[in-house]
Amino acid sequence: MKAMILAAGLGTRLRPLTDGVPKPLLPVGGTPLIVWNLLLLRRHGFRDVVINLHYLGPMIEEALGDGSRFGLRITYSKETTILGTGGGIKQAEPYFDGEPVLVLNGDTLVELDLDELVAFHVAEKAMATLVLREDRDAVRWGLVEMGTEHRIVRITGQGLDDSGPTVPRMFAGIHILHPGLLRDVPKETALSIIDPYVAAIKRGERVLGYDMQGYWSDVGTIERYTQAEHDVRAGLIRLEDRHLASSR
């Protein structure tokens, strides 16, 4: 299975830190955010990674190169206009060779067993698996409602009307999807990946939720960026091979 890291965003909520540096290259614990994700992928056996680029994209490409220093093969999907999470994945679709792809956000720090996630996705024969979290602010993040047998029935109120009891969750920005789910998504069009997920739910396809328990942080604001630095120093998240990011 290949992986994709979404790294095209403008990082407006982190200005002025992102005025001259793309958000994925901001250091946390001395290591760029995106490198934390690259090393997580490598630790779980991923070798081929697609990264989409837009804002200050050449800086990311120069910093990461072809990925060989991390034991990976990196391919870049360059967006002349920013396409959003859905449009960006659609543009990169040819790189997936018709196979499921694991998608991560380039500005998220997470400690997650990707082997278990992939095994769940395969065993459940899902069209898509979204990593979910319990969060008292789930509505603010964008409420995901999960029903029986892990099936997601609504996202931000859109989906199935009559679904029975559900539990509230938030989307952690990590997901596995089959490219077939993007078949009706127009090319070169900006949109959220949530739109094709809602359409798939309405069609009755298996869009499932996977509950995670480990560390997670969306490093999207100055406050959360500062907190992430504290968390790294406190040892709340660490990667065994993190030193590779600064040793070469």
Task: Classify domain 2-233 at the CATH topology level.
Answer: Spore Coat Polysaccharide Biosynthesis Protein SpsA; Chain A (3.90.550)
pTM: 0.91
* pLDDT score, position 206: 96
SS3 205: coil
pLDDT, tens digit, for every residue of 44-68? Answer: 999 999 999 998 989 999 999 999 9
Ranges 15-19, 101-105, 146-150, 215-219: which has the least confidence: 15-19
* pLDDT score, position 246: 41
Q: CA–CA separation, 81 vs 188, rounded Å?
A: 9
Ranges 14-18, 41-45, 116-120, 197-201: which has the least confidence: 14-18
Domain boundaries along the sequence of the chain: 2-233
Under the banding of pLDDT at 50, 70 and 90, the label for residue 247 is: very low
Radius of gyration of the chain (CA): 17
Give me the chain's average pLDDT, please.
90
Helix axes 57-64, 33-43, angle to 10 degrees: 50
The first and second tokens of residue 126, run together, are: 């899902």
Using a pLDDT cut of 70, give the percent of the chain over it: 96
pLDDT, tens digit, for every residue of 118-176? Answer: 999 999 999 999 999 998 877 777 899 999 999 999 999 999 987 788 999 999 999 99
Phi, psi dihedrals of residue 228, rounded to the nearest 5°: -60, -40
Are the C-beta atoms of residues 34 and 106 closer than 8 Å to each other? yes
Q: Could you tell me which of 78, 23, 25, 70 has the C-alpha nearest to residue 46?
A: 70
* pLDDT score, position 35: 94
